[in-house]
Amino acid sequence: MDGLQAENPGVGGIRGNAEERYRALAYDTALSTLVAVAVYVVVKVSLDGIRQWRASISVLIVGSGPVGLTAALVAVRSGKVLKLTVLDERYRTALLCRPQQIALDPWSVKFLLGLGVDFDNMEGCWHNEHFFTRIGVFQEYLLSILEQKKQKVDVKVLLGTKFTEEYLRRIPRNEWPRVIVVADGSCGDSCSVLGISSDYTVETCHAYGANATIERPDQRQVPTPEIRAHSLYFDLSAYGMEALREHRNPTAKPGFHLKIYGTFRNRYMALVCHASDTKMVRFLRHTANSSIMKNIFHQSFNVYKTDIEPRLNDVTLHHMQCSRRLFEIQLSHRRISAAYIEGDNVAVTVEGEAARVLNFDTGCGVNLGMRGLESMGTFIYRTATAVDQNDILEALSAKMKHSRQMAETFKQTGLAQSMYE
């Protein structure tokens, strides 16, 4: 018995050593696993970082208007574009001779400054933090910037070239763009070429408006600040309607808002009021007398024009064209503003008036198009660095969401910023 009892401490020691060895082995195994996982994570992150850093794609932009050329600058600025092609069926002369004036609001000015636009070297004028210039001048300046970018990016501007199915067929499959930006305006047919639905959502802006244009060839073609007038009421008793006193009623809606803009040669006017059921609004919405609106614009122009430009008289009045009556102001925007062409692995986004159109000219329409480019840089970056199709679809979904938010924001504040304030 004593001999058997003497052996027990030895057996316990052996078991203790075995447990220690097992613990040590388990610890070493866990440590080795952690080290292996850490190494894998570090290597993967490094490789992903290198892949994202080196990732670059080809981008095709259809349309060389203000929005299309700005989109080209955004693409170059993203740092992920290896080859950039800009198409437009118009030739350079037709582009640069456009007389219409554009007004860039403070948001657009800040956005363009971030893209390298130097307003001090562009023909135009400043007023209330807005920059006014002609479309042709603006486009010529952006084209000159793109010329300078050729040192870093393969930039091709193909003017006089229409985007068609035949054009796409001529592109070798290995040279197809990964991103196509459609910015060919409201009359363009690039979306139909790409098979994108033409369905629009039409939403009211809860306002009524009218537009007028005046062309005076004897005046200068120089940019001018806009003129705004608020709380206007009109005496329409000459047309069989009693003089109105509704503006004295505290429950009545505010009066009309007037804007005069454009160059001295090409003058434009916009008249807008909040949606209401006042007698004057009902009368101007349903009148069959087209001379009423012309007379309103005629008299309003002479009252609020600048001191250095001539008045409109009966001789020059025939140069004016205007809306026959007040109409409902509506915003139309595409139900599908971004799409994925799976077979060709191409992501498409629609910008500017090709994506959203206002049936009322405020003189600040280009700013609505610029808003859509706010998410363009991120969209191109995410597409260039996408690992699989799901990443591209997520980028497209984010672009669509931004487009819907833009439309909603404009309905709420767009006219307030461009007309009411």
Alpha helices in 63-183 (DSSP H): 66-77, 92-96, 106-114, 135-148, 165-170
For the chain, the residue count is 421
**pLDDT one-digit tens code per residue, 4-59:** 444 555 556 666 677 777 777 777 777 777 776 666 655 444 444 443 444 589 99
* Sign of the torsion angle spanned by Cα atoms 97, 101, 106, 107: negative
pLDDT tens series, the chain, 421 aa: 444 444 555 556 666 677 777 777 777 777 777 776 666 655 444 444 443 444 589 999 999 999 999 999 999 999 999 999 999 999 988 888 887 899 999 999 999 999 999 999 999 999 999 999 999 999 999 999 999 988 888 999 999 999 999 999 998 888 899 999 999 999 999 999 999 998 999 999 999 999 999 988 888 888 899 999 999 998 888 887 765 455 555 444 569 999 999 998 899 999 999 999 888 999 999 999 989 999 999 999 999 999 988 888 876 777 789 999 999 999 999 999 999 998 888 999 999 999 999 999 998 889 999 999 999 999 999 999 999 999 999 999 999 999 999 999 999 998 998 999 8
Provide the 10 A C-beta neighbour count for residue 175.
9
Delimit the domains of the chain by residue range.
Answer: 57-96+153-199+335-420, 210-329
Compute CA distances 210 → 125, 286, 316, 391, whole Å.
Answer: 26, 13, 20, 45
Any idea which residue has 């979306």 for tokens? 191
Does residue 61 sit in helix, strand or coil?
A: strand
User: Could you tell me where the beta strands, DSSP code E, fall in 91-242?
Assistant: 101-104, 125-127, 130-134, 154-159, 179-182, 200-215, 227-232
pLDDT > 90 in the chain, percent: 62
Q: Token pair for residue 128?
A: 């209330």
Q: End-to-end CA distance of the chain: give it in Å, rounded.
A: 108
Does residue 274 sit in helix, strand or coil?
A: strand
CATH number, span 57-96+153-199+335-420: 3.50.50.60
Q: How far apart are CA 13 and CA 17, in angstroms?
A: 6
Amino acid code (one letter) for 63: G
> Residue 94 phi/psi, 5° resolution?
-65, -35
Q: Which of 304, 294, 223 is nearest to 260 (CA)?
A: 304
What is the model's pTM?
0.84
Amino acid code (one letter) for 57: I
Q: How far apart are CA 283 and CA 287, in angstroms?
A: 6
Q: How far apart are CA 266 and CA 95, in angstroms?
A: 17
